[in-house]
Structure 1
Amino acid sequence: MWAWIAHDLRLYRMRHKMTQEDLGRVLRCVKSTVSRLESGQLQLDEKQAAKLDSLWNTHGHFTRLLVYAHRAHNPNWMRQHAESESRAAEIKSFETCLVPGLLQTPEYTRELFRTTLGIDDVERHVEERMRRQDILDRADPPTLWFLLDESVIDRSTSDPEVMRKQLARLLEESHRPNISIRVRPRAAGLHAGLGGSFKIFFHELGDVAYSEAQFGGRLVVSASEVRGLVVQYERIGAHALPENQSRELIKRYLEASK
């Protein structure tokens, strides 16, 4: 669907004998942004779609395509997720049952791929996930906010040593100045995040989110949906432990595993 939108954007522009600079003035963006929209590197938003429909009198063509694109499963979800993650200046992540990928140890990732996801070529996927963690050590690392359900840190692995190392890694990373890790305790009861894990990526060119699902995921580009997930994140976090108390809870699980 996104490829269709990108194709039709260029098609309509050329039909109306407009340059990318001309269209950029309509959409209030630069030529390079139009080029990226037409190549599929960027995705059209609702306001831009409405402007195009009005400009070219399409009777809602781009707006309709956008609705279906948002609903569809994207087979390139993992690539788009990784790209959004690498470009983000700030990330907010909520996890219901697994340690966030950016904080996983190689051993934890390896067991995850082997036992739960049934992925072939496990080592290649482990290496790819570890490369994603390079953003933690770059000169301008993003600000990372992690909310974890307590089930994330009390879930056992087939080899207890794997989880011990993972819990130690969480404690270590929690002391970085750009990383916040907070745990929502089970005693806090049911909450809005039980429907699934999600992340919000904050970019200069617009915020996007990623919602997890079975056998894939969905990149959320609708501004209203992203705002809804921001509110959801705050609601979940309202009953999470502060950072210091979260560390203490992780320490207790670490000590109990020895």
Structure 2
Amino acid sequence: MPRRPRDPGVPCSPTEYFGTELRAYREASGLSRPQLSERLGFTPQWIGQVESGNSAPSEEFAEACDTFFGTNGVFHRIWKWIQELGRLQVLPPGFRPYAEAEGDASYVKAFAPLLVPGLLQTPDYARTVLEVGQRPGKIEELLAVRMERQELLAKEDSPWFLFVLGEYALRRKVGGREVMCGQLERLQDLASQPHITLQVVRDDAPVYQASGFVLLEFKERASMCYMDSGGGYGPLLENPRDVDERAVAFDQVRSAALPAGDSVRFVRAVMEGL
């Protein structure tokens, strides 16, 4: 069956949607592009590029549109949508649904047997991890997204976090001694915050869950689980039975972990022994 052609009047991206709304408000005001240019202080060519969806608006331009048209932040909200979509498009396809849901969670439970989780990584540690198999130009974009995700840890309404790390993740000298010392020091600092709990599973503990995963719990929607298959290509589980099985696995892993206080002391001992 031949594909149905897309209606040229229907925006297919936030950038096109911004342009469509801008054109509608301009025409409703009876203004030409040169006339709007005089009032906003941007060239008619720039306005034309934005209206056609060929150029993304700047934050300054979005705010100028809101002020001139009295739209109570509509254009700025679309601009933020454009930024958010651009941030997500940098991520591997399998990780994007998780990243979108992460900010809405009320409780985040993560098991990480091999590496320190991205939410807890220092920039140097994260850069070392991201450099493997990535084009040089993409590394900084991915690093910026990872660091931005960490803002979730400091939000006023931040979720509760429970991280269970394998001993191997602490002893593995990612990036060398200096980078790893900085990472272990950060883990101790984060563990001192009341909404973040850190526990460690020793290598000799009876734990046979080889791959990491993250459970997200929400106040008004069903829980989900992201399976870490490496490189951000793991599946996002939403079937209640599958998620419940991972929740049981997490409880089993946690039951074999050191208590929180002992875990922080263990992290400190590993750091001092590097």
Partner SS state of residue 151, structure 1: helix
Change (3 A) 1:100 1:255: same
User: Any residues of structure 2 matched to 1:44-55 within 5 Å, and which?
Assistant: none
Larger Rg: 2
Q: Size of the alignment, in residue pairs?
A: 180
Shift of residue 192 of structure 1?
Answer: 3.3
Match for 1:81: what amino acid?
Y
Separation in structure 2 between the aligned mates of residue 84 and residue 225 of structure 1, nearest angstrom: 18
Contiguous gaps of at least 5 residues in structure 2: 1-91
* Structure number with higher relative contact order (C-alpha < 8 Å, ≥ 6 residues apart): 1
Change (3 A) 1:106 1:220: same
**TM-score, scaled relative to structure 2:** 0.63
Contiguous gaps of at least 5 residues in structure 1: 1-74
Separation in structure 2 between the aligned mates of residue 221 and residue 119 of structure 1, nearest angstrom: 32
Over residues 55-97 of structure 1, what are the superposed CA-to-partner deviations in whole Å (9 max), with x where a residue is unaligned? xxxxxxxxxxxxxxxxxxxx73221111121111101000011
Is the contact made by 1:192 and 1:235 (CA closer than 8 Å) also made in structure 2?
Answer: no
**TM-score, scaled relative to structure 1:** 0.67
Shift of residue 117 of structure 1?
Answer: 4.0
**Alignment equivalent of 2:128, drawn from 108, 111, 115:** 111
Match for 2:209: what amino acid?
G
Give % identity: 30
User: Any residues of structure 2 matched to 1:81-230 within 5 Å, and which?
Assistant: 81-114=98-131, 116-120=132-136, 121-189=138-206, 191-194=207-210, 196-203=211-218, 204-215=220-231, 216-230=233-247
Report the aligned-residue RMSD. 1.3
Shift of residue 136 of structure 1?
Answer: 1.1
Match for 1:241: what amino acid?
L
Over residues 2-25 of structure 1, what are the superposed CA-to-partner deviations in whole Å (9 max), with x where a residue is unaligned? xxxxxxxxxxxxxxxxxxxxxxxx
Shift of residue 157 of structure 1?
Answer: 2.4
Is the contact made by 1:97 and 1:152 (CA closer than 8 Å) also made in structure 2?
Answer: yes
1:252 aligns with 2:269: yes
Is the contact made by 1:173 and 1:179 (CA closer than 8 Å) also made in structure 2?
Answer: yes
Is the contact made by 2:161 and 2:196 (CA closer than 8 Å) also made in structure 1?
Answer: yes
Separation in structure 2 between the aligned mates of residue 240 and residue 231 of structure 1, nearest angstrom: 15
Change (3 A) 1:171 1:117: farther
Partner SS state of residue 114, structure 2: coil
Separation in structure 1 between the aligned mates of residue 255 and residue 142 of structure 2, nearest angstrom: 35
